[in-house]
Structure 1
Amino acid sequence: MDDKSILEFTDKSVTFDQFVDFLATKVAIRIHQIEKGELEVSQAQAYKLFGRADVERWIRNGKLQPVRISPGKKRFSLVDLQKLASVQQNYLL
């Protein structure tokens, strides 16, 4: 694909260079957020993404702690959730 190629999206058309610049910016922002620990999700989002049973088990077993608690709301680190989800579970033990 050359630099003058046009990418067609349902809502607009952009050049390949514009797309790459936008994507690189988004990736850089996401890396920065991960490094700073700013990527947090609500308890409801954690349930939706990783399953309520798994999230509750991780909390009960002390493997997952909220990074922030406000009245009636808990927020969890997305990085922590992803690490726990990637661990092979042995449910027989």
Structure 2
Amino acid sequence: MDLLNFSDMCVKYSTFLDDVAARVVHLLKQDANDPEFISQNKAFEMFGRGNVERWRKHGKVTPYKRPGKIEYKTADLRLLQRTQQDYFK
């Protein structure tokens, strides 16, 4: 039997994989209706202006300039939203 050892418990490898798979499916369903790109105003509304501007300033997200507007890839913003970040660097 394969076990993964965490500091607070041991988990069977198959249980770990099942949990990861369930989480991936949940995230895919949650993001299924997202458009590929969103406008800067929509990004500010969904993720917070401060967050989007900080991610852009630190080079974590790339703005795409289109005639008359600025857009961001929704998947990039979702990834940053789900990533724990250290703001004191």
Q: What letter matches 1:50 in structure 2? A: F
The percent identity for this pair of structures is 37
Gaps of 5+ in 2: 1-27
Q: Distance in 1 between matches of 2:62 and 2:84?
A: 20
Q: What letter matches 2:70 in structure 1? A: K
> Which of 60, 64, 79 is residue 63 of structure 1 equivalent to?
60
Partner secondary structure for residue 41 of structure 1: strand
Q: TM-score, normalised by structure 2?
A: 0.57
Q: Distance in 2 between matches of 1:80 and 1:45?
A: 14
* Aligned-pair CA distance for 1:74: 0.8
How many pairs were matched up?
A: 61
Is 1:52 matched up with 2:30? no
Deviations 1:59-83 (A, max 9, x none): 00011002x3123411111000000
* Aligned-pair CA distance for 1:87: 0.7
Deviations 1:27-65 (A, max 9, x none): 9xx85x87xxx6110000000000000000000001100
Counterparts of 1:69-80 in structure 2, within 5 Å, are 69-80=65-76
Q: TM-score, normalised by structure 1?
A: 0.55
Partner secondary structure for residue 61 of structure 2: coil
Equivalent residue, structure 1, for 2:81? 85
Q: Distance in 2 between matches of 1:69 and 1:92?
A: 29
Segments ≥4 residues shifted beyond 3 Å: none
